[in-house]
Amino acid sequence: MKLPGPDHPITVEPHGGEVAVRFAGQVVARSRRALILREASYPPVVYIPLADVEPRFLGPSDHTSHCPYKGDARYWTLVVEDRSAANAMWAYPAPYPAMAAIAGHAAFYPSRVDAIELHPPIG
């Protein structure tokens, strides 16, 4: 486990607006409680409460990954009618203590969904 610091900063803040994730003509997630995670030089990542994700669009995935700063992630495949996006959503079920704010939240790969709409946009 690594801790965020000056060499690898990570911040988590409320978005303060609305977020909608669209895939195959459906809104698969919508929230006014989203978080924005900024990590080192990576693009910001939107984390949405799992309660604000439509479970009917989630399919199983055996894929997992590990982040030395956040912990072990699990993934879900988006399924809408005849369209799917493998491993499009991930979450850290038990994030490391320094990243506890993202517990109960999930993120989507922008390249695997049609849109992640933020109102207001983030800079």
pLDDT tens-digit readout, 79-122: 999 999 999 999 999 999 999 999 999 999 999 999 999 999 88
Give the pLDDT score at 42. 96
How many Cβ atoms are within 10 Å of 9's Cβ, its own excluded? Answer: 11
**And the tokens for 41?**
């030089």
CA–CA gap between residue 50 and residue 70 (Å, rounded): 17
Give the pLDDT score at 122. 81
Give the pLDDT score at 121. 84
Q: What are phi and psi of 72, to 5 degrees?
A: -95, 130
